Every structure is written in C-alpha cells, then in structure tokens.
Amino acid sequence: MINKYSIKEILDKGILFENKKLIVEGWVRSFRHSMFIIINDGSTVKNLQIILSRNLKKKITVGSSIRVMGIIKKSFGNEQDIELKLYEIKFYSLVDNNIIQKSIIQPKTHSLEKTREQIHLRFQTTIFGCIMRIRNSISFFIHEYFNKRHFLYLHTPIITYSDCEGTGQIFQVISTSKKEKDDNKYFFNRKSYLSVSGQLEAECAIMGLGKIYTFGPVFRAENSNTKRHLSEFWMVEPEIAFYHLEDNINLAENFLKLTIRYIIDNCIEDLSFLNKNVEKWNKKKNFSILKILEIILKFSFYRVTYTEVIKILKKIEKTKNVNFIYPVYWGMDLQSEHERYLVEEYFNGIPVVVFNYPSSIKPFYMRMNDDKKTVRAMDILFPRIGEIIGGSQREERYEILINRIEKLKLNIDTLWWYLDLRKFGSVPHSGFGLGFDRFVQFITGMNNIRDVVPFPRTPGYTKL
Ligand code: 4AD
Ligand code: MG
C-alpha cells in the first residue's frame, strides 16, 4: 500500500524520505517550464515541487486540485531540499484560466482590501494560510497554558440577560416564531441578549471550582468601525478565587509572554513569511513583527496607576507639544490615541499595565479602593493595538456592591444571583479578558483585525 502524506509531513522528514513512494494531494500554486508543478495543501506555508518526466496532455492551471503519486528525490534546485518525481497524476478539478484572472488566487500581489472582498477564497492565499495556522496555534497554546495550571475550561452561555459591562451596546435575541410575535411574549419570558462577556457566570463557577477560564465568542453592538473592533469576537477570560489585583496582573503578563514565546518557537515559518511582507501592508518602513515580539518578551511590563498616566499625558502635552484630539483630564476614559502614544512613544514599545482607574468609567463589579474614587481595575496596553486585556479585582463585599448597583441604577432583578454569591463564602477574586482577535492581530503584525478572523462581523458587514 502506498501511504498518503501532507506536505508538512513530507517536508519535515525531508531527505529521510528519499526514494519513498507516496501520495500527496493539494492545489496548484504555479506551473513552470512545462515541467514543475508547485502545490500546497494548507498544512504549511511551504510548497512541494513536483517534477514531470513527460508532457501532460492537460493544460494545468493555477488553483486546480490534484492527487499525485510519485517518489521523493533529492532536489538540485536551491529552493528546496527534496521534490516529488511524478508517476501518476489525477485531476479532481481543473480551474478555468479566465476565472482565475479575476480572483485573488491569481499569483500576484493583491491588496488586503481586495482579499476581503473574496472572503470565501481567502483561505487559498499564502498570507491567510499563515494567519490561520498562527491563530490555531495560539488557541491551542491557550488551552495548554491553563490546563497545565489546573484551570478548568468553563462553557459560559451565549444567551444571557445581563449586560456585564453595563454599556448597553448589546444584541437582543428574538425568535422568528409567530407565537412570540402574536403573544407579544419573549421566548425566554424576558428580554435576552447575546453575551458581551462570560465573566459574571465565571464568578459563580470559581466559588466552588477555584480557578476557571472561558474561551468563546462574545458580541458587542458598538458602532466602532475601526481596525481593532469587531461585533463578534473571541475572548479568553480566566477567573480565580483568592486572587488579588497584583496576582492577576502577574498572571496576565506571564500568560501573554509565554504565548508569544510559543508562537515564535513553533510558527517561525509562517511568522517569517508575514514578517517579510508586513512592511508593505502596514506601509511603514523597517516594520518587523519579530523585533516587536522580542521587545515584549525581553522587558517587564511597566505598571502605572491611572492617576500617574494622566500626569504623564499632561506633561507630554506641555513639553512635547503633542495635541491629542480628546482633552486630557482626571476622570476621562483613555482613548486609543493616548494609549498608543503612551506605549509606543513614552514607554518605547514596552507594554504598560494601567491600574486603579476612576470608578466612574469602569463597570459596577470592580473592587472599590479605600480612596472611594478609584477601583482595582487593570488594562494592559500593547503597542499598535492599545488595550489588549481588561481585567480587575472584583468587589466581594456585599454592602459595597449593592450600594454601587443602586447608585448606578442597575436592575437588581438581573443581578440578584450575583449579589447572592457574596453571602455564600465570599472571597477576594480577580480575572481578566483577553481580546483574542486583537492578540492574533498583534502577533501576526496585521493592520486590520478583519484580516485575522475567518469570517469577520463588523457594523454593516456580514459578508458570507
Ligand atoms: O475590557 P473588556 O470590555 O472586559 C470585559 O469584558 C471583562 N468582563 C473581562 C474580564 O474581566 N473577564 O474586554 C476585554 C478585551 C479588551 O481588552 C479588548 O482586547 C477586547 O476584549 N475587545 C474587543 N476586541 C475586538 N472587538 C471589540 N469590539 C472589542 N471590545 C473589547
Ligand atoms: Mg476594557
């Protein structure tokens, strides 16, 4: 029997496979000098070269799907160590050359905007293959990271009736059943929404399980059409009992660094391909993803309070003559322009953890500090991205929490159970949320978050 192998398996074995007869399947990337077919099967960024020993009767076109049987030989070309000498070829589907010309499959440089218009074909491009493999490796490592540290993976509901972040930018869930319309009744007997975060449910779980993490899709109806916002994105949310803000920050820093380390160690071929091209896509000279990633690994993240940040920004405005669009004052929400200036210019590209934010700009669940003005919040700011993680120590004291809920006029009906938790063995606890897609965007060096998501959803856009 002749075994079938992926291109990755074949290239990983390299010369050890010399003279081995095998089957491989893939899509034609190019056909040169009537003699070399270059194929790829998605398993690696690298292609396999097939050598023809005779002329084929069919005209081979780019994008066509084939199955080949042949024997591995040492290659005398410079570009590869081994190649496949063809014995037998089967065409699954030959692509019409005229169609290829108009598509992003045609082997020439296409703008990322154009590839976004052909979402269903993007997976066949080299760049998107690299991004998807890296995205996969990041997901895999995240599970491994938490699993090794005995965090339980918790599935929190997608349909919920609480607005965790209290921003009101949520999608309502309604059924299309006629009954729901006729009776003017809700399917779940009350208004329900797509979840913006699994945190509140995660807090229930840790009260018995100690430490958990969630990793799933969340939905936000913010009308922010930026390069960092999606309406549907994935979030990783660890939540830990008996954990203080400092523990939380330490965990987040370690988690981000080890994930980046893992990707550099395990996805270097894909990263290197992206690294060669990002300068062009980002339209920035000397842009190197690898350099940026190494800086993250090399230095400890800066840790500064919100109050210190405001002082720094004010000083920058005065001494450096920088004009921010949004005015700087104590109590304002940091905007992307402030976050990026702080990390990229003031702290030279080293991430910054900003903590102790004013309670007025943070959600109800964060633990109040003794100054009664600030809460134990922490945001991690990255170069290029701005906020990548948002987290906090949670308010575990019943009286203080209920006061806050009442002051903010939140609906106790939807939060009674959250309050109830504070009566049954309440403990100091903390957690954070990592914007998974923003993290993939950062690691791959892409300029637009839509280019790192298989099927992006943004305001006014659900193409495919
Ligand atoms: O800061 P956020 O809103 O925090 C929470 O939802 C907390 N409940 C998390 C927790 O403590 N368990 O969101 C967390 C992260 C942000 O730092 C950002 O990286 C990402 O989610 N994020 C988005 N990513 C893409 N598109 C959007 N519209 C995003 N909004 C937030
Ligand atoms: Mg936030």
**Mean pLDDT across the stretch 109-122?**
92
- d(Cα 274, Cα 446) in Å, to the nearest integer? 9
Of all protein residues, the one whose alpha carbon is nearest to atom 28 of ligand 1 is: 229
For a ligand 1 pocket test, name from 227, 387, 395, 418 the mutation site with the most ligand atoms within 8 angstroms of its C-beta: 387
The pLDDT score that the predictor gives to residue 202 is 98
**Mean pLDDT across the stretch 447-462?**
93
pLDDT digits (tens, 9 = 90+) for 385-441: 999 999 999 999 999 999 999 999 998 888 999 999 999 999 999 999 999 999 999
- DSSP-derived secondary structure for 238-300: EEEES--HHHHHHHHHHHHHHHHHHHHHH-HHHHHHHHHHHHHHHT-TT--HHHHHHHHHHSP
Percent of the chain with pLDDT strictly greater than 70: 99
**Mean pLDDT across the stretch 325-354?**
95
Average pLDDT of the residues of the chain: 94
Tokens 């987040």: give the residue.
252
pLDDT digits (tens, 9 = 90+) for 238-263: 999 999 999 999 999 999 999 999 99
Percent of the chain with pLDDT strictly greater than 90: 82
For a ligand 1 pocket test, name from 235, 393, 442, 452 the mutation site with the most ligand atoms within 8 angstroms of its C-beta: 235
**Mean pLDDT across the stretch 215-239?**
95
- DSSP-derived secondary structure for 293-343: HHHHHHSPPEEEEHHHHHHHHHHHHHHS----SSPP-TTPPPPHHHHHIII
**Mean pLDDT across the stretch 358-371?**
97
Tokens 């050598």: give the residue.
51
The pLDDT score that the predictor gives to residue 164 is 80
pLDDT band at 344 (very low <50, low <70, confident <90, very high): very high
Q: What are the pocket residues of ligand 1 if the criterion is a CB atom closer than 6 Å to any ligand atom? A: 164-165, 197, 199, 220, 222, 229-230, 233, 235, 237, 387-392, 431-433, 435, 437-438
- The whole-model pTM stands at 0.96
Ligand located closest to 235 CA = 1
The pLDDT score that the predictor gives to residue 320 is 84
Burial class (CB in 10 A: 0-12, 13-18, 19+), 221: middle
pLDDT digits (tens, 9 = 90+) for 57-83: 788 999 999 999 999 999 988 888 999
pLDDT digits (tens, 9 = 90+) for 125-170: 999 999 999 999 999 999 999 999 999 999 999 999 888 888 779 9
* Residues sharing a CB contact under 8 Å with residue 101, sequence separation 6 or more, in sequence order: none
Q: List the domains of the chain with CATH numbers.
A: 7-104 (2.40.50.140), 124-158+204-216+223-452 (3.30.930.10)
The pLDDT score that the predictor gives to residue 225 is 87
Of all protein residues, the one whose alpha carbon is nearest to atom 18 of ligand 1 is: 435
pLDDT band at 179 (very low <50, low <70, confident <90, very high): confident
Q: What angle do CA 395, 143, 222 make, to 5 degrees?
A: 55
Provide the 3-class DSSP secondary structure of residue 132: helix
Ligand located closest to 388 CA = 1
- d(Cα 124, Cα 104) in Å, to the nearest integer? 9
**Mean pLDDT across the stretch 15-40?**
95
Lowest average pLDDT, out of 180-184, 213-217, 223-227, 372-376, goes to 180-184
pLDDT reading at 284 higher than 80:
no
pLDDT reading at 281 higher than 80:
no
pLDDT band at 287 (very low <50, low <70, confident <90, very high): confident
pLDDT reading at 184 higher than 80:
no
For a ligand 1 pocket test, name from 196, 429, 438 the mutation site with the most ligand atoms within 8 angstroms of its C-beta: 438
Closest CA to 351 of 239, 252, 236, 259: 252
- d(Cα 231, Cα 32) in Å, to the nearest integer? 44
Provide the 3-class DSSP secondary structure of residue 52: coil
